[in-house]
Amino acid sequence: MIWTLAVVSALVFLIVNLPPGDILSNRINELMASGESSSVARAKFLAAQYALDEPIWKQYLIWLGAWPGPLGFEGLLQGNLGWSFELDRPVSDIVTEAMWMTVVLNFTTILFVYVVALPLGALAAVRANSLVDYLATFIGYIGLATPNFLLAIILYSKGAEWFGLPVGGMVSREYANAPMSLDKLLDIAAHLVVPVIVIGTSGMAAMVRRLRANLLDELGKPYVTTAAAKGLSPTRAVVKYPLRMALNPFVSDLGNMLPQLVSGSVLVSVVMGLQTIGPILLQSLKSQDYFLSGFILLFVSALTLVGMLISDILLALLDPRIRFEGRGR
Amino acid sequence: MAAEPVLRMEDLTIAFGRGAASHVVVEGAGLTLRRGETLALVGESGSGKTLTGRAILRILPRGAHITSGRVQFTTSEGRSADLLALSEAKMRKIRGGRIAMIFQEPMSSLSPLHTIGNQVVENLRLHRGVTGTAARDICLETFANVGFPEPERAWSAYPFELSGGLRQRAMIAMAMVCEPELIIADEPTTALDVTTQAQVLDLMRKLQDETGMSMIMVTHDLGVVANMADSVVVMKRGRVVESGPARAVLTAPGHDYTKALIDAAPEIPLDMPSETGPVADPILRATGLSKTYPGRSGKLGRPGKPVRAVSGVEIAVGRRETLAIVGESGSGKSTVAKLLLRAEEPDPGAHIRFRGADGVEQDVATMDRATLKSFRRKVQIVFQDPFSSLSPRMSVLDILTEPLRIHGIGTAAEQKARAAELMARVGLSPAHLGRFPHAFSGGQRQRICIARALALSPEMIICDEPTSALDVSVQAQVLELLKELQEEMGLSYLFISHNLAVVAGLADRVAVMRRGRIVEQAPAKLLFENPRHPYTQALIAASPEPDMDRRLDLAAVARGAGDPHCWPEPFAYHGDAAPGLIEIEPGHFVSAAA
């Protein structure tokens, strides 16, 4: 996993540096063009400080903190995330704030997806081709087919009208800089309702479909008949045996879902004015603010890996066959 | 005095679908089972025997439902009820408690995610209300009763950690743990090797003697019936065609269908005319045939112990003769077939000499690609499963002309004519060439597979368990077809099977394999009349036959079916070393220390 992360970090650095011209060299060029000696000196200083005249691999290692840069070992490994030129603040300052919101938002969304998809999918499979099944299918298709931003606008307008839900943002203005309190928490929760539904719906719909198909497969298996022949009640027979078998793909989705939610919610976050990491990523990519975008991309990759790790551990806990395979190796 | 009936089924009718679209699959079935007896429900696939068995517990597959009938069940306390009229809640008390079921495929009938103990103890909790250590103790006792060598291990084992025989024992333990009065066993030994089957059947009989329970055995195998049943009910296409005491039905069958079933059951003939002596004119002779698979890597990438699937096999197939290789699952018999065709590369040192009709001898083991292609034209293969070995997206015409197209033989019209000729030859109508495989039954599909193998006019055909997926009556027909083709076209066969009885009518020579080695090889007559190796004796003793007076000889099974290290001297293996083959009669080789 460490190796994967190292390779990914190299790739990320390469990619954000690939397009010619970035915010820093643009600024240096500007300073050089102005021809004033102080500006030229400043430009030279910047270029030296960020090791722009070094080859790219050295720049990468310096960014990583594995190579002494002009300031000594000062990179990711040492906890220095770099400097955002556009916002003129350290990357860590910008990111920590947004990261918080992102984690809260995504965690709630995943919770929402699983809590809704599990019973809905199971019910749709057990009562296949019944009213419940058709209803779940219908909701699923609507969720899959409606563009997220459209859903966002509809839900905001109707949510505000019917339930008095706040529109836009993650937190009300009066709490924005207030310390954490119960009121602030409730306020955030109210703000979360619509974004969570908007971001989670399509993932939820897909998961309902997948769970239904898996469970339907499992329900026809002989061990389900065995359970029935034991005299288990239908509910218990389904929950204990086939549902657990059908959970595997459900769990392994976790790894894919984490990054998808972060990147997939960029557009929605922009539309809904959420102060998450998504809009910042978009902005930094547009302005080629490469320390910032590089770190965010790396963070999303790390999130993917963590998601995979969690789902692998869960799978091994759930399925003895996977456990034994690992042991035999 | 006959015991009172424990179960009486009357006029049971089962249909798929409802209303106008419904399709009746069991019609007016009836049976009576007396307490403490075993009733065999016999029939081929599609006869409705499994559905009838399941209807007793009302666990039918989705879409099937009972339209009429009564199933009167009387408990030992004398309470009686119609199972078909009971409420769902009361029915759940009966299932697993009073009446238990054992299924065919123990691997898929047990949940892979739960330990055996967890799955068995569930019954106790449901029906006895016993939990905790008390329940555990009862389970461990049951495990010991069904013959688990280490009950403690079985308790915490997952199904995939057990062998097929132990898995079926776990199924039996699950059924027995609540001491039911009736057990319905649906093909309980069909998925097992013959020697394992003999042991499991013996176990079931013993348990029945101990507990006095009644049993319904759903099976297609009349040999199993003869060994187990007190009475027999024969079903065909959803109807009961004959029923009565087992001895009467087996010795003097009243219905033509029963007669046909008994005739078709493979049996080791008492007297077989067959030549003896060594192979005179071998078409294929292999020596030093071994195959080692690299073991799974151990911890930290250290290579695991290599697995020897086949070691030092030496066989010879006579021209226009049939050599049968017989062995249980994992014996390496199919690997031998793959090695002979070079579908897999044998370990260095192997020689596979093929001498076709042109008289030129070639070594298959060292052939280049071009020669190999022409070799494969002469040696074809027929696989076990006719359902998966035919592409469902190709018409029969395409399937039969494909080998001709690959080898560039004839024009399109000629190829078509050849396909029609082949269809007629294997007993199918050339008019059906445009159909797709799903339109044919299992037996017909296997005929198509044979026709495909014949397309290139081969000299030799390797048949890998060609009939084990088929019903007995169909199996007999396919074997008959193979025999006819051999006489007519002068084919040589290498016939691979797990069943000695199937091979008996066809083979000129038989080689018995166990754990990758040949333990005995002889002309069929000598092998069946004078088997020397304990394993061969076990195989012969373990094949059930539809004859009430030739019951399974379990002592012989126990002697030979165990681990090669436990075989009596001079047959035992010592470490990795196996005794070599010695010739005791002309052409009769046995693995034994000299």
**Is A233 in the B-facing interface, judged by CB distances under 8 Å?**
yes
Q: How far away is chain A from the Cα of B180, in angstroms, using its nearest Cα?
A: 11
- B62, A220: Cβ pair inside 8 Å? yes
Given a cut of 50, whether residue A46 has pLDDT beyond it is yes
Give me the residue from A226, A318, A321 closest to B160, CB to CB. Answer: A321
Number of Cβ within 10 Å of residue A19's Cβ equals 10
Q: Which chain A residues in 55-94 lie under 8 Å from chain B, judged by CB atoms?
A: none
**Is A225 in the B-facing interface, judged by CB distances under 8 Å?**
yes
Name chain A contacts of B100, Cβ cutoff 8 Å. Answer: 229-230
Q: How far away is chain B from the Cα of A236, in angstroms, using its nearest Cα?
A: 11
Q: Do A202 and A144 contact (CB within 8 A), yes or no? A: yes
Name chain A contacts of B105, Cβ cutoff 8 Å. Answer: 222
Q: How far away is chain B from the Cα of A119, in angstroms, using its nearest Cα?
A: 21
Give the residue on A whose Cα is nearest the Cα of B302.
A329
- A232, B92: Cβ pair inside 8 Å? yes
A130-134, A272-276, B233-237, B363-367: which is most confident:
B233-237
Q: What is the pLDDT of residue B304?
A: 63
Given a cut of 90, whether residue A201 has pLDDT beyond it is no
Least confident of A87-101, B100-114, B375-389: A87-101
pLDDT tier at A70 (50, 70, 90 boundaries)?
A: low
Three-state DSSP class for B431? helix
Q: How far away is chain A from the Cα of B303, in angstroms, using its nearest Cα?
A: 10
Q: How far away is chain B from the Cα of A11, in angstroms, using its nearest Cα?
A: 28
Which ipTM was obtained for this model? 0.71
- pLDDT tens profile B297-338: 544 555 567 778 888 899 999 999 999 999 888 788 888 998
Give the residue on A whose Cα is nearest the Cα of B303.
A329
Q: Do A148 and A202 contact (CB within 8 A), yes or no? A: yes
- B296, A244: Cβ pair inside 8 Å? no
Name chain A contacts of B127, Cβ cutoff 8 Å. Answer: 231
| d(C-alpha A260, C-alpha A257), whole Å | 5
- pLDDT tens profile B135-162: 999 999 999 888 888 888 889 888 888 8
**Is A129 in the B-facing interface, judged by CB distances under 8 Å?**
no
Name chain A contacts of B95, Cβ cutoff 8 Å. Answer: 228-231
Q: How far away is chain A from the Cα of B113, in angstroms, using its nearest Cα?
A: 6
Least confident of A255-264, B206-215, B232-241: A255-264
Q: How far away is chain A from the Cα of B570, in angstroms, using its nearest Cα?
A: 36
- pLDDT tens profile B428-466: 889 889 889 888 888 899 999 999 999 999 999 999 988
Cβ–Cβ pairs < 8 A, chains A and B: 85
State the best of B111, B119, B171, B307 to mutate against chain A, taking most chain A CBs within 10 Å.
B111
Give me the residue from B108, B113, B296 closest to A222, CB to CB. Answer: B108
Q: Do B216 and B562 contact (CB within 8 A), yes or no? A: no
Give the residue on A whose Cα is nearest the Cα of B88.
A233
- pLDDT tens profile B180-214: 999 999 988 887 888 888 888 888 999 999 999 99
- A226, B101: Cβ pair inside 8 Å? yes
Q: How far away is chain B from the Cα of A260, in angstroms, using its nearest Cα?
A: 30
Q: pTM above the 0.90 mark?
A: no
State the best of A226, A318, A324 to mutate against chain B, taking most chain B CBs within 10 Å.
A226
- B296, A328: Cβ pair inside 8 Å? yes
Give me the residue from B105, B126, B171 closest to A231, CB to CB. Answer: B126
